[in-house]
Every structure is written in C-alpha cells, then in structure tokens.
Amino acid sequence: MENRLVVSASPHIAHKDSVKKIMFGVVISLLPAAVGGVYFFGAKAAWVIVLAILSAVITEALIEKLTKKPITIADGSAIVTGILLAFNVPPEVPWWIPVIGSAFAIAIGKVPFGGLGYNPMNPALLGRAFLLASWPSHMTIFKTAPKDGSLSGINLAAIKSYGLDAITSATPLNVFKTQRGILFEWHDVLKSGMENPALQAKADLANNAISQLSDSYANLFWGRVGGCVGETSVFLLLIGALYLIYKRYIGLRIPLTYIGTVAVLTWLFAGTEGLFSGDPLFHVLSGGLILGAFFMATDMVTSPVTPKGRIWFGVGCGVITVIIRLVGGYPEGVSYSILLMNLTVPLLDRYTKPKTFGKVEQK
C-alpha cells in the first residue's frame, strides 16, 4: 500500500489480518483434530487428509490455469476446504473418495461462483453431500474402531457384560437411531397388549445400549469413538475453536445458538419416555456437531454478517440437525443443516439489517 490516502466509501478502518493470515490460522486450529484423527484411526486417516488437501489445491490451480485467471492457491482457502472435507469422510474410504470429493468441492462448489468470497455454500460440505449421495455405501459404513475404544463409544467392558457386541458395530448416532426405533416399536406392541418375546428381548438390549451410550460421555469427549476422520474428538476440536475465538476469527453467536438449539430440542424430543426424557449431552458430544458448529457453520463467506442474522442462522442449523437426527433417514444431519441454512444467508442478512444510527422509523 503506497498510496494511503485513498478516498473511498466506508468502512475506512483497515485490519492488519489478511485472507491468507486468517486461512492459515484456521489451518492451525484444525491441526489438533487432524493429529487426533491420525492417532485414533491410524495412517489411513493421514492419507485421507493429505489426498484431500492435494486434490483441492491442484484442482483450484488447474482450473485457474485453464481459464487464465490469477492463481489463488496461496491464500490457503483450498487447503482449509481440503482438510474440512477429509474431516467429513470415514477413515477407511478408498483413495479416490477424498480426491473426487475435494475436486468437486472446488470445481463445482467454489470456482464457478467466482472463487473465494462468492461461493453461496460451504464447498467442503457440498463435496461431502456429493460423496454421500453418490457412494452411500462408502460414506455410511464405519469399520475402524478408534485406538483404545469401540466404534459406538461404549466401553469395551460394558459391551462384554451386557452382550451388546451385535448392536454396537456402528457409530453412536447410528446405534441411537436404530435402537430408538426398536424401543418405539416395542412401546407400540406393549400398548396393543400383544405378546412378542423376541421383540421384548431386543427392546431390553436396546434399553441397555441407549443407557450405555449415555454413560460414554468421556469417550465421546476425548474421541474414543468411531466416526469421520476429524469429527470424533470434542476435546481436540475445542482446543482449535478456542484458538479461533481468541484470535477473533470466529464469533460465538453461531456456535452457541446452534449447539444450544440442538441441546434443548434433543432434551425435549429425543427420549423414548415422552417429553423431556432426552439426553442433550450425548447429542451435543456425538456426531459432527462440534466440528460443524465451530468450523463450518462459522465460515465467513457462507454465514450471515449481521448479529441477529447469525443467531437465526445457528437456531436454523440446530432445528434442521435435530429433525434429521430424530425423524430423517440419516443418523446425522449436521452437514445438510449447514448447507440448507447457507442458502438462507442472503435473506437473513436482508431482514436483519441493523437500523442506521439516528434514523427515524418512517410511519
């Protein structure tokens, strides 16, 4: 900046943070969870992350080269997209899943709209949605149990003593969804007064499984559960999030309203014994909620700029997530909820525009 006396429209206060600096800040904040993913799931998780980053960066460079646009990979946003995409796929996917996912995220989700700052939806989540719709068998099957833990997060000792082996070969939310379904079916049978010993045995097992899920908070918090590469360890994600909050790269409105909405709604509706019997802590700690709420819903490009808009954005994400988790076809709804709310951002911004200071409301 040589010419510092520029006459232009407001705002005039410049901040020393550049796009590049912020993006590398985000990369640093994602590192603990990345290291955690490799620690818990082994070297294949590292491969997924590396391939996703490489694919994102190369795709962006290639398209910009072909269309003769300035090459923008140095701003680091493609690296962030690659890491976030890798965080959202299971660790045991074939090598081409993260490669195609990242390429789609950049080539369809970002560049055609004009590159960084113009994409209406979070590219990494778009990539994940594409992968989930195209190869559901690879994206919904989790086989790798984390180091020192079980896929479902239930303690190994409890699995043995309750005979739960058969139903805990899935992620916590998956176990929750299927077992809750069995319990509802059992309640219907109980109401009708019929006898069904086979179902009763299954319902007993389901009750055990769900209560054991609730006792697995510690495993969920530290990350000793199955899941996507970077979503499992709440602890490591929170370290990164604290860094972002400390650097003021993200605000608290979206994450807090998002997580709060999920907690309240699951407490109200997620139980099997009527209202207020749900387990909000389990729902907050499991799945990709922490990753989504702090790292993806807060994406500067695809979230509202107004304070009120951010609150509504978080609430909307929470409502959609809970609806998908409890009544939808998938066990987890974080990525779809954020994508759907991304599309409402222009409207939210428009209707929550703060009043100009000193302006008198027109009658």
Q: Which is nearer to other proteins, 184 or 246 (CB)?
A: 184
Distance of closest approach, residue 24 Cβ to other proteins, in angstroms: 32
Q: Which is nearer to other proteins, 137 or 192 (CB)?
A: 137
Residue 135 as a binder of other proteins (CB under 8 A): the answer is: yes
Q: Which two three-digit tokens encode residue 23?
A: 């993006």
Residue 344 as a binder of other proteins (CB under 8 A): the answer is: no
- For other proteins, the binding residue among 17, 117, 118, 134 (CB under 8 A) is 134
Residue 137 as a binder of other proteins (CB under 8 A): the answer is: yes
C-alpha to C-alpha distance for 33 and 284, rounded to whole angstroms: 17
C-alpha to C-alpha distance for 12 and 26, rounded to whole angstroms: 26
Q: Which is nearer to other proteins, 21 or 202 (CB)?
A: 202
- The alpha carbons of the chain give a radius of gyration, in whole angstroms, of 22
Angle at 190 between CA 189 and CA 193, to 5 degrees: 90
Residue with tokens 């989790």: 142
Residue 108 as a binder of other proteins (CB under 8 A): the answer is: yes
Residue 178 as a binder of other proteins (CB under 8 A): the answer is: yes
Residue with tokens 């019997």: 277
Of 340, 298, 352, 287, the residue nearest 316 (C-alpha): 340
- For other proteins, the binding residue among 21, 44, 202, 247 (CB under 8 A) is 202
Judged by CB under 8 A, which stretch of 115-123, 131-139, 262-270, 318-326 contacts other proteins? 131-139
Distance of closest approach, residue 67 Cβ to other proteins, in angstroms: 9
C-alpha to C-alpha distance for 109 and 113, rounded to whole angstroms: 7
Please return the burial class of 68, using the count of CB atoms within 10 Å of its CB with bins 0-12, 13-18 and 19+: exposed
Distance of closest approach, residue 52 Cβ to other proteins, in angstroms: 18
Distance of closest approach, residue 310 Cβ to other proteins, in angstroms: 28
Distance of closest approach, residue 135 Cβ to other proteins, in angstroms: 6
Total residue length of the chain: 363
Distance of closest approach, residue 174 Cβ to other proteins, in angstroms: 11
Q: Which is nearer to other proteins, 93 or 291 (CB)?
A: 93
Contact indicator for 306, 350 with CB cutoff of 8 Å: no
Residue 130 as a binder of other proteins (CB under 8 A): the answer is: yes
Distance of closest approach, residue 130 Cβ to other proteins, in angstroms: 6
Residues 6 or more apart from 5 whose CB is under 8 A from it?
A: none
List helix spans (H) across the chain: 19-41, 43-66, 77-87, 96-107, 123-134, 136-139, 156-162, 172-192, 197-214, 217-222, 234-246, 253-269, 280-285, 289-291, 307-327, 334-351
Distance of closest approach, residue 205 Cβ to other proteins, in angstroms: 11
Q: Indicate the helix (H) or strand (E) that contains 135.
A: none
Residue 133 as a binder of other proteins (CB under 8 A): the answer is: yes
Binding mask 298-337 for other proteins (x = CB under 8 A): -------------------------------x--------
User: Which residues of the chain form contacts with other proteins (CB under 8 A)?
Assistant: 108, 112, 130, 133-138, 178, 202, 329
